[in-house]
């Protein structure tokens, strides 16, 4: 088993470059299956989830090639396989294969995602969208099958602005006949990035980034060359790390607009944050006030930043109320933070964090990706040594987190242990 070991108490100093966004690259990889020719993706981050996406794409009959620093995806003329439980279970975003495969081939068989550490995460909105586009959907033995003689555009209202449902439906609608309108669509930057990629392939999408997306179906799409946006959650994680551990860090390759809610909260907490052209400088003293946060769909405070921000609030002056409105069970990191000396009370979707003077290193478990990041941050600011297990969760979504923190002077390493 691999562990991440952190010796706390060292301020961070230097410059760190953010990688391409996990949540943008995964849908873009799957969207490339919609085209009839090869796509070339630049700067693809080195993530476990990207490897799973490659496996899935190959499983479906496409060919994936890494060459000249880029990832080439050669879509098949006919899809051969299905999206099996084994892959969908390991990465929920695998479900985003449904839209592209259904739209191109008229039928798809995909495993249901099943339970997930951060809540039940249903897929009803995805299915509602496909069925309104004219797919006949059946379910058996844990698999979903959808068939259509040809998708037809329609008006689809999402009960919640789900990122995945918006993306899945938008991808399928590109090849549907006529106009599709997605109402109450997700406005996340990753949705906009996916729309830009699809439009570069020849799709006709307008309004991505607003609550109403209009997609005029086209007959076919061609592969293209693309480079996805920087990872706003990775950027936010480094900002919070610098605020917590203290020191001075410049985070490069950031679209400042995408991290606005995080910057606003850091400033409210009294942390000095300066925005550059596409970089952000944080000067942390390790001292900050407690602030309340409520997670919301974009442009609200991102749920993926809730665990790292909670880690920060454990050491704030005062009491912070953290309300999670996006996922119903996203407080798995609370018990682990408590093992390090944090004082947190959870009631339903709210966590009350009473700031303490110090955290102390302990052995803790990364229960999911962002919970893992939260524990690394807590370890950086804690006294003594923190050992984080189940670090494969962190590898799903952070490219070289340990190495990047080392370059900022953190005493952190990855070791084999039990
Ligand atoms: C994506 C991100 C994830 C992020 C989340 C919210 C990717 C690969 N993952 O996940 O990192 O935390 O957005 O910003 O991009 N819901 C339904 N029915 C559905 C679909 C969703 O009720 O059919 C609910 C979910 O249970 C959840 C909420 O909608 O409570 C938000 O989920 P959604 O926006 O779909 O998140 P994902 O796309 O899975």
With a 6 Å cutoff on the Cβ, whether 121 touches ligand 1 is yes
Atom of ligand 1 nearest to the CA of 167: 38
Give the per-residue pLDDT at 118: 60
% residues pLDDT > 70 (the chain): 98
The string of pLDDT tens digits covering residues 311-322 is 999 999 999 999
Ligand 1 geometric centre to CA of 162 (Å): 5
Distances (CA, A) of 143 to 68, 80, 83, 131, 139: 38, 16, 9, 16, 6
- Distance between Cα 121 and ligand 1 center (Å): 7
Q: Tell me, what's the pLDDT at 328?
A: 86
Residue nearest to atom 8 of ligand 1 (CA): 23
Domain end marker among 195, 227, 259: 227
Residue 190 and residue 229 in contact, taking contact as beta carbons nearer than 8 Å: yes
Instruction: Determine the average pLDDT of the residues in 394-416.
Output: 96
- Residue 340 beta carbon below 6 angstroms from any ligand 1 atom: no
Q: Which is it for strands 225-227 and 39-42: parallel, antiparallel or unpaired?
A: parallel
Statement to judge: residues 44 and 13 lie in one domain: no
Lowest average pLDDT, out of 20-34, 75-89, 245-259, 360-374, goes to 75-89
Same domain, 164 and 41: yes
Among the candidates 227, 258, 288, a domain finishes at 227
Question: Vertex 84, ends 83 and 87: CA angle to 5°?
Answer: 90
CB 369 within 8 A of CB 351: no
**pLDDT over 60 at 115, yes or no:** no
Indicate the SS3 state at residue 60: coil
How is residue 284 written in tokens? 């942390």
- If you average pLDDT over residues 372-395, what whole number do you get? 96
Closest ligand 1 atom to 233 CA: 11
Give me the CATH number covering residue 372. 3.65.10.10
pLDDT at 253 over 70: yes
**Ligand 1 neighbourhood includes 95 CB (under 6 angstroms):** no
For residues 13-33, give the mean pLDDT.
98
- pLDDT of the residue at 159: 96
User: What are the angstrom distances between the C-alpha of 1 and each of 5, 9, 116, 371, 388?
Assistant: 13, 26, 22, 18, 11
Residue whose entry in the numeric block shows the structure tokens 């290193």: 361
For residue range 124-150, list pLDDT tens digits in order.
Answer: 999 999 999 999 999 988 899 999 999
Distance (Å, rounded) from C-alpha 175 to C-alpha 178?
Answer: 9
Judge whether 196 and 170 are in contact, CB under 8 Å: no
Band (pLDDT 50/70/90 cuts) for residue 117 is low
What is the mean predicted confidence (pLDDT) over 150-169?
98
Q: How many structural domains compose the chain? A: 2
pLDDT at 114 over 70: no
Q: Do residues 43 and 162 share a domain?
A: yes
* Residue ending a domain, choose from 205, 227, 249: 227
Q: Which residues are designated catalytic?
A: 116
Q: What is the pLDDT of residue 121?
A: 72
Percent residues over pLDDT 90 in the chain: 93
Buried (b) or exposed (e) across 357-381, using 16+ Cβ within 10 A? eebebbebbbbbbbbbbbbbbbbbb
Among residues 190, 220, 232, which one has the least CA distance to residue 370?
232
Task: List, in sequence order, the alpha helices (H) in 201-305.
Answer: 232-245, 260-268
Task: Judge if 11 and 39 occupy the same domain.
Answer: no
Cα Rg of the chain, angstroms: 21
Pick from 162, 166, 298, 301 the residue to mutate for probing ligand 1's pocket: most ligand atoms within 8 Å of its CB: 162
Could you count the other beta carbons within 10 Å of the beta carbon of residue 218? 15
pLDDT-based confidence at residue 80 (cuts at 50, 70, 90): confident
SS3 101: helix
Helix or strand or coil: residue 285? coil
* Cβ–Cβ under 8 Å, residues 207 and 214: yes
Q: Rounded to an integer, what distance in angstroms lies between the CA atom of residue 33 and that of residue 194?
A: 13
Token pair recorded at residue 269: 């907490």
Contacts of 116 (CB under 8 A, 6+ apart): 92
399 lines ligand 1 (CB under 6 A): no
26 lines ligand 1 (CB under 6 A): yes
Instruction: Measure the CA–CA gap between 70 and 54, rounded to whole angstroms.
Output: 13
Note whether 210 and 290 are same-domain residues.
no
- Going from the Cα of 67 to the center of ligand 1, the distance in angstroms, rounded, reads 32
122 lines ligand 1 (CB under 6 A): yes
Domain span holding position 321: 2-17+230-416
Taking all residues of the chain, what is their mean pLDDT, rounded to a whole number? 96
pLDDT at residue 392, rounded to an integer? 93
Same domain, 205 and 258: no
Q: How many angstroms separate the Cα of 6 from the Cα of each of 64, 243, 342, 415?
A: 36, 17, 17, 11
Q: Locate the ligand 1 atom nearest the alpha carbon of residue 49 and give its number.
A: 8
Residue 267 and residue 175 share a domain: no
- Which spans in 327-410 are helix H? 333-339, 369-381, 392-397, 401-407
Q: What is the mean pLDDT of residues 345-352?
A: 97
286 and 211 in one domain?
A: no
210 pLDDT higher than 80: yes
CB 13 less than 6 A from any atom of ligand 1: no
pLDDT at 1 over 90: no
Name the residue of 27, 121, 188 whose CB sits within 8 Å of the most ligand 1 atoms, as the mutation to test its pocket. Answer: 121
Torsion on CA atoms 41, 45, 46, 49, rounded to nearest 10: -90
Whether the predicted pLDDT of 116 surpasses 90: no
CA distance linking residue 55 with residue 67, whole number of Å: 17
Q: Is there an atom of ligand 1 within 6 Å of 164 CB?
A: yes
- Residue 328 alpha carbon, nearest atom of ligand 1: 30
Atom from ligand 1 closest to the CA of residue 93: 8
pLDDT band at 49 (very low <50, low <70, confident <90, very high): very high
| Tokens encoding 50 | 């990207």
Q: Is the per-residue pLDDT at 119 higher than 70? A: no
**Which 8-state DSSP code applies to residue 357?**
S
Token pair 């943008």: residue: 24
Query: How confident is the model over 185-191, as a mean pLDDT?
Result: 98
203 pLDDT higher than 70: yes
Peptide bond before residue 289 is cis, with ω within 30 degrees of 0: no
Preceding peptide of 47 cis, ω within 30°: no
Sort strands 319-323 and 293-294 into parallel, antiparallel or unpaired: parallel
Whether the Cβ atoms of residue 268 and residue 318 lie closer than 8 Å to each other? no
What is residue 81's predicted lDDT score, i.e. its pLDDT?
77
pLDDT of residue 83: 92
- Asked whether residue 251 falls in the same domain as residue 209, the answer is no
Whether residue 326 is predicted with pLDDT greater than 70 in this model: the reply is: yes
Distance (angstroms) between ligand 1 centre and the Cα of 176 equals 24
Q: Which of 27, 163, 374, 394 to mutate to test the pocket of ligand 1 (most atoms within 8 A of CB)?
A: 163
Q: Is the CB of 180 under 6 A from ligand 1?
A: no
The finding on whether 303 has its CB within 6 A of some atom of ligand 1 is yes
Report helix, strand or coil for 89: helix
Q: Where is 139: in which H helix or E strand?
A: strand 136-140
Residue nearest to atom 2 of ligand 1 (CA): 23
- DSSP at 295: B
223 and 237, same domain (yes or no): no
| Same structural domain, 185 and 89 | yes
**Are residue 249 and residue 380 in the same domain, yes or no?**
yes
């Amino acid at each position: 088993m691999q562990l991440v070991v952190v010796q706390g108490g060292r301020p961070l100093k230097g410059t760190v470059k953010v990688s391409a966004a996990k949540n943008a690259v995964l849908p873009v990889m799957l969207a490339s299956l919609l085209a009839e020719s090869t796509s070339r993706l630049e700067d693809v981050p080195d993530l476990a989830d990207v490897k799973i996406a490659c496996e899935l794409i190959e499983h479906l009959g496409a060919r994936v090639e890494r060459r000249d620093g880029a990832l080439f995806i050669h879509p098949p003329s006919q899809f051969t396989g299905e999206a099996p439980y084994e892959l969908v279970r390991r990465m929920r975003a695998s479900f985003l294969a449904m839209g592209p495969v259904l739209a191109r081939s008229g039928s798809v068989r995909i495993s249901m995602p099943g339970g997930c550490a951060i809540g039940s995460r249903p897929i009803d909105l995805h299915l509602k969208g496909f069925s309104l586009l004219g797919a006949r959907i059946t379910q058996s033995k844990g698999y979903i099958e959808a068939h259509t003689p040809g998708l037809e555009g329609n008006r689809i209202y999402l009960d919640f602005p789900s990122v995945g449902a918006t993306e899945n439906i938008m991808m399928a609608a590109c090849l549907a006949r006529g106009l599709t309108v997605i109402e109450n669509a997700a406005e996340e930057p990753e949705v906009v990035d996916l729309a830009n990629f699809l439009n570069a392939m020849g799709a006709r999408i307008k309004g991505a980034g607003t609550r109403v997306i209009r997609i005029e179906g086209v007959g076919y799409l061609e592969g293209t060359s693309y480079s996805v946006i920087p990872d706003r959650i990775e950027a936010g994680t480094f900002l919070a790390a610098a605020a917590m551990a203290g020191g001075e860090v410049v985070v490069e390759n950031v679209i400042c607009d995408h991290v606005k809610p995080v910057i606003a909260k850091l400033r409210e907490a009294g942390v000095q944050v300066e925005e550059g052209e596409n970089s952000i400088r944080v000067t942390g003293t390790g001292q900050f006030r407690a602030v309340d946060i409520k997670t919301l769909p974009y442009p609200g405070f991102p749920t993926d930043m809730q665990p790292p921000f909670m880690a920060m609030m454990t050491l704030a002056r005062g009491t912070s109320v953290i309300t999670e409105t996006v996922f119903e069970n996203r407080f798995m990191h609370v018990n682990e933070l408590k093992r390090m000396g944090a004082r947190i009370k959870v009631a339903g979707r709210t966590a009350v964090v009473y700031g303490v003077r110090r955290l102390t290193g302990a052995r803790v478990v990364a229960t999911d990706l962002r919970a893992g990041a939260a524990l690394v941050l807590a370890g950086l600011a804690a006294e003594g040594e923190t050992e984080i297990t189940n670090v494969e969760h962190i590898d799903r979504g952070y490219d070289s987190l340990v190495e990047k923190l080392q370059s900022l002077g953190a005493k952190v390493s990855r070791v084999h242990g039990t």
